[in-house]
């Protein structure tokens, strides 16, 4: 690696929680996501040259931006005597519940690690990503960052020590996600949650996490659907999302296996068996928002198995 070396990468958006797995389940989707270009510089530190597509809302201070926080941690860890410049292209909205800060941070550490000949493995990159999430949304939560970094479906079995498990996904599992144009900040969506939950809810929630794991491993789509129930966050956070239950009903009528809030919202996801049902579900979700005069985008994709990837450089 030498000064002037350059790379262009993409990191995918993610659906965290997946109904029953508050803070412990997540999966990556093919789009949206973030693109990042990085160039190695002689000067130490990380410099943000440009952030495109965020309407100026993201911090330009490298100490506050999730991508640069993660990259700086990486550089400190390897005791680098060089730095880098970055160009970040946001291809997704912030405050959407699609892991926007996570995708930026993953793109950043993935890029620097590739330029450093993959000095660290993915597990070793996780602490930098947790710090970045802490900087971005005041909570060091692993679900979005791990799903974006590893790709596929992940379970955070333990936070201390961090233990991320990758769960195989059945071939024909698709996802429709709608992002209504309503801003919900993760910090606010966490503050409205109760600090304690009833024992009965706890046991139903953990039974459903078990159910979804077995469903994924067996390729049992109906079991995956039956397990997409959330007793912890959805009852409270649904109040922040106009038309949430109408969207959920519309998804089920369109044939989805189940639907809930993506991460801390306002995006809503539905898991589906097959591409056709996923597209139909996406249209049904959007029809609800159109009726309410709320703008939205819909993304339909398989669960993204790859995670971040290198893109060709453009002149
Ligand atoms: N699991 C988090 C939450 C999402 O629901 O608040 C952000 O990582």
Cα 38 to Cα 49, 108, 115, 310: the distances in Å are 10, 8, 9, 11
CB 35 near ligand 1, within 6 Å: no
Distance from residue 74's CA to the centre of ligand 1 (Å): 23
Of 246 and 188, the one with more pLDDT: 246
CB 23 near ligand 1, within 6 Å: yes
Q: What is the pLDDT of residue 40?
A: 97
Cα 8 to Cα 128, 187, 262: the distances in Å are 20, 31, 27
What's the predicted TM-score (pTM) here?
0.95
Least Cα distance to 9 among 105, 76, 100 occurs for 105
Q: Whose CA is nearest to atom 1 of ligand 1?
A: 23
pLDDT band at 1 (very low <50, low <70, confident <90, very high): confident
* Sequence-separated (6 or more) residues with CB below 8 Å from residue 310: 7, 8, 9, 114
Q: What is the pLDDT of residue 117?
A: 96
Least Cα distance to 150 among 95, 209, 92, 109 occurs for 109
* Sequence-separated (6 or more) residues with CB below 8 Å from residue 69: 62, 63, 105, 128, 131, 132, 135, 136
CB 297 near ligand 1, within 6 Å: no
Mean pLDDT across the chain: 95
User: CA 7 to CA 25: how far, in whole Å?
Assistant: 30
Backbone angles phi, psi at 271, to 5 degrees: -90, 140
CB 190 near ligand 1, within 6 Å: yes
Mean pLDDT of 135-156: 94
* Contact (Cβ atoms closer than 8 angstroms) between residue 140 and residue 101: no
Catalytic residue among 35, 39, 68, 186: 186
- What structural domains does the chain harbor? 6-168+305-311 (3.30.230.10), 173-302 (3.30.70.890)
Is pLDDT of 125 > 90?
Answer: yes
Active site residue 171: no
Distance from residue 21's CA to the centre of ligand 1 (Å): 10
Question: 295-306: per-residue pLDDT in tens?
Answer: 999 999 999 999
Q: What is the pLDDT of residue 57?
A: 83
Q: What is the pLDDT of residue 58?
A: 87
Is pLDDT of 249 > 80?
Answer: yes
Cα 119 to Cα 50, 74, 75, 135, 162: the distances in Å are 27, 10, 11, 24, 20
Count Cβ atoms below 10 Å from residue 298 Cβ, excluding itself: 18
């Amino acid at each position: 690696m030498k000064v002037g070396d350059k790379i262009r990468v993409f990191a995918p958006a993610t659906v965290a929680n997946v109904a029953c797995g508050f803070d412990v389940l997540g999966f990556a989707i093919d789009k949206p996501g973030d693109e990042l270009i990085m160039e190695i510089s002689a000067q130490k530190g990380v410099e943000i040259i440009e952030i495109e597509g965020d309407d100026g809302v993201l911090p330009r201070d490298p100490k506050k931006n999730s991508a640069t926080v993660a990259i700086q941690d990486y550089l400190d860890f390897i005791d680098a005597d060089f730095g880098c410049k970055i160009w970040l292209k946001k291809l997704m909205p912030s405050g959407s519940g699609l892991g926007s800060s996570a995708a930026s941070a993953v793109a950043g550490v993935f890029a620097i690690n590739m330029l450093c000949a993959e000095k660290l493995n993915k597990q070793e990159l996780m602490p930098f990503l947790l710090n970045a999430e802490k900087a971005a949304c005041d909570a060091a939560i692993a679900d979005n960052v791990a799903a974006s970094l590893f790709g596929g479906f992940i379970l955070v079995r333990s936070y201390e020590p961090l233990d991320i498990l990758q769960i195989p996904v059945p071939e024909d599992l698709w996802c429709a996600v709608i992002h209504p144009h309503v801003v919900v900040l993760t910090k606010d969506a966490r503050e409205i949650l109760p600090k304690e939950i009833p024992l009965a809810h706890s046991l139903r929630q953990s039974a459903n996490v078990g159910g979804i794991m077995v469903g994924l491993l067996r390729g049992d789509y109906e079991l995956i659907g039956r397990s997409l129930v959330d007793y912890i966050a959805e009852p409270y956070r649904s109040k922040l999302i106009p038309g949430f239950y109408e969207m959920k009903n519309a998804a089920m009528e369109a044939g989805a296996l189940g639907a809930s809030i993506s991460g801390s919202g306002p995006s809503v996801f539905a898991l589906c068996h097959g591409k056709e049902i996923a597209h139909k579900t996406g249209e049904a979700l959007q029809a609800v928002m159109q009726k309410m005069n709320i703008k939205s985008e819909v993304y339909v994709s398989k669960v993204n198995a790859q995670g971040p990837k290198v893109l060709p450089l453009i002149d």
